[in-house]
Amino acid sequence: MSKRHYAKAAGTLALVGLVVLVLLVWYGTRVPASALDAAGSVAPGDAALIQRGEYVARASDCVACHSLPDSPAFAGGLKMATPLGAIYATNITPDVTAGIGGYSLADFDRAIRHGVAPEGRRLYPAMPYPSYAKLSDEDIRALYAFFMQGVSPVAAANKPSEIPWPLNVRWPIALWNTLFTQPEPFAQQTTQDAVWNRGAYLVQGAGHCGSCHTPRGLAFNEKALNDSGEQFLAGALLDGWYAPSLRNDPNTGLGRWSEADIAQFLKTGRNQHAVVFGSMTEAFNNSTQFLTDADLAAIARYLKSLPGDPQRDGPPWQYQAAEASVFVSAGGHLYETRCASCHGLDGKGQAPWMPPLAGATSAMTAAAESAINISLNGSLRVVAAGVPDAYRMPAFREQLSDLEIAQVLSFVRATWGNQGGEVDAKAVATLRAHTDPASPTPILLHMR
């Protein structure tokens, strides 16, 4: 082939590439249609609708990500780490300049359920719109009424992300959405009753439980968005914590929990099996405890319907009493002197205030991050019904070395029938360098 033909072929390919790029950019920056485009707005002063919106905002835990302690609710500013760099939660108060005060109902819907700002700018999926896509039109209208009429405007400017160019170019997110989201509202399953369907709606949609508890693929996508996938809520590592399985896995999930146990945990932050810690503390403090008993029962019904995976989870845990001789080891001695006063020499704790370590999920999973993190940094304050708890897991980062924490956790994860396995001191050192001590202040944010 002559040079002229090569040049012509190269020019054709370049033109085709340019056309494809233009089409991709158009696709990535276009404003998608909203089911509420023709719905107008919401009437001012509808107290019942605003109240419903406040409830949906609690169920969706909007306040936790879009607020900072000691700052006005929903004014943004929370720093969130991503694999590409840090991003900051935005101001979603009705301030016209800094917030969302200029959003129409359809604009609001596109942001919540499709992850697209009014000017076509794609939102990072740290905003859980893949889950919020399941919210009903009625709940979107209620949320809009609450944010526009029930929240005070705050003129707090948004902070730019720390993601460098060209990784901060956002139009490719549209392609990600096409591959990894399902932008349809929740559809009732006719084979299930109303309670199950309500629980499924809350877990898959507003509660966005999969954002933490579902493992992610190479493209940082949730491997399943509903119970049609076996990986849905099967447990995942996130930000130095292991969010455990919410399926009926007897060792690493909810297999040993009853529906009443689940509802109690979400309502009070504790039950006979566990006490909230890590990221779940903020979800409890700001969201789940505010749900009605009927909704908590519905969530429990739905979660208990999700089958576990015996092949992945192994044989069911059974309690095994520890011989006195095991406490002679370095890890056993540390446990006896540092941990047993709260969690007991028998590992059974003092429920519901101090949880058992015998059979604890953090002692049964191969991922040791949660056990390491809470040992290093302690637990956040649990605030139930406005009352801060009197018992907290203390931080041991100043009292124990990496090796000592690895030793005591290896002991816990191999005693009383626990099957988690040994902890490496290097893993402790890694989390020590990348985590901070938990704040002793209650993380409880008032929405208005």
Q: What CATH number has the domain bearing residue 45? A: 1.10.760
In a shared domain, residues 82 and 203: no
Return the number of other C-beta atoms located less than 10 Å from residue 437's C-beta.
12
Question: Known binder of ligand: residue 213?
Answer: yes
Q: What is the pLDDT of residue 447?
A: 72
Distances in Å between the alpha carbon of 390 and those of 121, 364, 393, 409? 46, 27, 10, 24
Could you give the CA distance from residue 288 to residue 269 in angstroms, rounded to a whole number?
Answer: 9
Total tally of structural domains belonging to the chain = 2
Angle at 439 between CA 434 and CA 442, to 5 degrees: 145
Reading the block at residue 234, the tokens are 């099967």
Question: Known binder of ligand: residue 434?
Answer: no
Residues of the chain predicted below pLDDT 70 = 1-33, 37-38, 438-446, 448
In a shared domain, residues 97 and 214: no
Question: Known binder of ligand: residue 62?
Answer: yes
Residue 112 falls inside a structural domain: yes
Residue 165 falls inside a structural domain: no
Residue 23 falls inside a structural domain: no
Q: How many CA atoms lie within 13 A of 328 on its CB side?
A: 4
Handedness of CA 10, 13, 15, 17 (dihedral sign): negative
Reading the block at residue 20, the tokens are 């494809």
Question: Known binder of ligand: residue 446?
Answer: no
Residue 3 falls inside a structural domain: no
Q: How many CA atoms lie within 13 A of 305 on its CB side?
A: 18
Torsion of CA 171, 176, 178, 183, to 10 degrees: -100
The answer to whether 232 touches 302, Cβ cutoff 8 Å, is no
Question: Known binder of ligand: residue 209?
Answer: yes
Helices 402-412 & 330-338, crossing angle to 10 degrees? Answer: 90
Residue 160 falls inside a structural domain: no
Question: Known binder of ligand: residue 65?
Answer: yes
String of DSSP letters for 18-46: HHHHHHHHHHHHS----TTTTS----TT-
Q: What is the pLDDT of residue 30?
A: 55
The answer to whether 59 touches 202, Cβ cutoff 8 Å, is yes
Handedness of CA 35, 39, 44, 47 (dihedral sign): negative
Residue 163 falls inside a structural domain: no
Q: What is the largest CA-CA distance in the chain?
A: 87
Q: Which residues pair with 90 in a beta bridge?
A: none
In a shared domain, residues 213 and 292: yes
**Closest by Cα among 51, 6, 34, 244 to 118:** 34
Domain encompassing residue 241: 194-434
In a shared domain, residues 112 and 231: no
Phi/psi of residue 197, each to 5°?
-65, -40
In a shared domain, residues 147 and 245: no
In a shared domain, residues 228 and 346: yes
Question: Known binder of ligand: residue 333?
Answer: no
**Closest by Cα among 258, 182, 165 to 225:** 182
Could you give the CA distance from residue 337 to residue 290 in angstroms, rounded to a whole number?
Answer: 38
Residue 94 falls inside a structural domain: yes
Question: Known binder of ligand: residue 273?
Answer: no
In a shared domain, residues 139 and 199: no
Question: Known binder of ligand: residue 66?
Answer: yes
In a shared domain, residues 216 and 92: no
The answer to whether 436 touches 376, Cβ cutoff 8 Å, is no
Whole-structure pTM value: 0.92
In a shared domain, residues 128 and 204: no
In a shared domain, residues 278 and 367: yes
In a shared domain, residues 206 and 287: yes
**Closest by Cα among 355, 381, 359 to 254:** 359
Q: What is the pLDDT of residue 445?
A: 60
Residue 15 falls inside a structural domain: no
In a shared domain, residues 266 and 363: yes
Q: What CATH number has the domain bearing residue 270? A: 1.10.760.10
The answer to whether 253 touches 244, Cβ cutoff 8 Å, is yes
Q: How many CA atoms lie within 13 A of 445 on its CB side?
A: 25
Distances in Å between the alpha carbon of 228 and those of 200, 345, 438? 12, 42, 36
Q: Which residues pair with 242 in a beta bridge?
A: 237
